[in-house]
Amino acid sequence: MRKMSWTVVGITIFTFLLGSSGVQAATTVEPYADGRDGYLTMPLFSVGETVPRLGDPTESYRMVGLPDGLGATATSAGLELYMNHEFESDVLSRPVVGGAQVRGAFVSRWVMNASGDPVGGDLAFRSVFQDNRYLGPIATASNTSPAFGRFCSANMAGEGHGFDREIFFTNEEAGGADSFDGRGGQTVAIFDGQAHALSRLGHFTKENDVVRPNDGRRTIIM
């Protein structure tokens, strides 16, 4: 069965709108917006909260700051949610509790159950590429891999857009020396645990790239 995917952009706490039914929120954080006309806004989780790490539930994965663009893919058990963290390229954060400090912007992958509760999380990519050229592991405080700058909005694309798999597209809003290759912001494609900076889509401070739905031989990215 074909997966369904969609994109949510530019929010810092993600919510579901639910009918007033006494459903309990998964976090104690107050909602940013009030429900109207019989609906309530239920925060799911927020910065500083942790879930078991995907692949190793003995470790914990933390939602760190500056969440921005989101993309989600439906699964049989709920959904997978990809989340940008819009750090500048020299900022350090520690999403894996007790793990290495990640340098610059990165993306988290969250697994949510059918109720919308987060049940696991981890880094969405562990290696970085310039186009198809491997440059190294994700940038950390202890390595020399190039770091991304300010991941902003995002777009999830898949089979309905002409691809053979789900690909999360994000963008650097950084410019010049603060960007991945020092030449200006790039579009970045994230799939299979890899992040590929796409130089042929140009170098400039980017807000978003949107993939036009199409199942033909050509794929248009705007």
Q: Which tens digits make up the pLDDT trace of 128-139? A: 999 999 999 999
pLDDT attached to residue 26: 60
**Span 138-158, average pLDDT:** 97
| pLDDT tens digits, one per residue of 172-187 | 999 999 999 999 999 9
Task: For residue range 5-54, list pLDDT tens digits in order.
Answer: 444 433 334 444 444 334 444 677 888 787 788 888 878 888 999 999 99
Which residues partner with 83 through β-bridges? 70, 108
Between the alpha carbon of residue 185 and those of residues 94, 128, 174, 206, the distances in Å are: 24, 15, 5, 6
Closest C-alpha to 197, from 132, 123, 104, 131: 131
pLDDT at 170 over 70: yes
Q: How far apart are CA 208 and CA 89, in angstroms?
A: 18
Q: Residue 199 — pLDDT band, cuts 50, 70, 90?
A: very high
**Mean pLDDT of the region 70-75:** 93
How far is 135 from 212, CA to CA, in rounded Å? Answer: 29
Residue with tokens 């994000």: 170
Asked whether the predicted pLDDT for residue 64 surpasses 70, the reply is yes
Between 61 and 44, name the one with better pLDDT. Answer: 61
- Asked if the model's pLDDT at residue 1 lies above 50, the reply is no
- Between 210 and 1, residue with greater pLDDT: 210
| 4: nearest Cα among 161, 177, 180 | 161
Are residues 87 and 105 in contact, defined by beta-carbon separation less than 8 angstroms? Answer: yes
In this prediction, residues 158-185 reach a mean pLDDT of: 94
125: how many CB neighbours lie within 10 A of its CB?
23
75-128 pLDDT per residue, tens: 988 999 999 999 999 999 999 999 999 999 999 999 999 888 899 999 999 999
pTM metric for this prediction = 0.86
